């Protein structure tokens, strides 16, 4: 009688490493619309993935909402390499840009709360002409994030 540990080749495991080049970066699918049907646990996992990518890749995350008063953007970018501090940049068409530094925990909590909203701020019915588009959250290269200045790819 033999065990599986004695004969790993019999389990159909290919021992040769695969050398595939990914066609898309690992963060390319990290996007979400609000509202969504994800569970709280799924949102927590999603936000943790986002924070890891912000720390390890040259990317930022952007939450975008539109309403009759214009577009609002909130961007999150790693402020240092340990992943404990992030820059939060908020843009409101009426007020311009505002920037602050936040801890990882504060960013995590804020993102989970925003992404768990049962309704988009954009589709708020409190004004006569609500916007039909849902809020969106997306990870993208930092050169694609908008700032107060014109940006270009480095």
Cα(34)–Cα(29) distance, integer angstroms: 16
For 32-61, the pLDDT digits (tens) are 999 999 999 999 999 999 999 999 999 999
42 vs 148 pLDDT, higher one:
42
**pTM score of the predicted model:** 0.75
Q: Which two tokens stand for residue 129?
A: 């002409």
Cis peptide bond prior to 35, omega within 30° of 0: yes
Distance CA 139, CA 27 (A): 7
More confident of the two residues 114 and 22: 114
């Amino acid at each position: 009688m033999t065990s599986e540990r004695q004969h790993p080749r019999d389990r159909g495991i290919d021992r040769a490493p695969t050398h595939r080049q990914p066609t898309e970066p690992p963060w390319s699918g990290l996007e979400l619309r609000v509202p969504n049907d994800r569970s709280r646990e799924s949102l927590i996992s999603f936000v943790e993935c986002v924070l890891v990518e912000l720390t390890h890749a040259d990317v930022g995350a952007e939450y975008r909402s539109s309403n009759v008063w214009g577009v609002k953007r909130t961007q999150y970018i790693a402020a240092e390499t340990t992943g404990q501090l992030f820059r939060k940049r908020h843009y409101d068409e009426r007020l311009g840009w505002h920037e602050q530094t936040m801890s990882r925990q504060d960013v995590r909590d804020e993102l989970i709360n925003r992404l768990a909203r049962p309704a988009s701020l954009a589709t708020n019915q409190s004004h006569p002409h609500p916007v039909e588009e849902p809020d969106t959250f997306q990870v993208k290269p930092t050169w694609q994030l908008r700032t107060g200045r014109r940006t270009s790819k480095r």
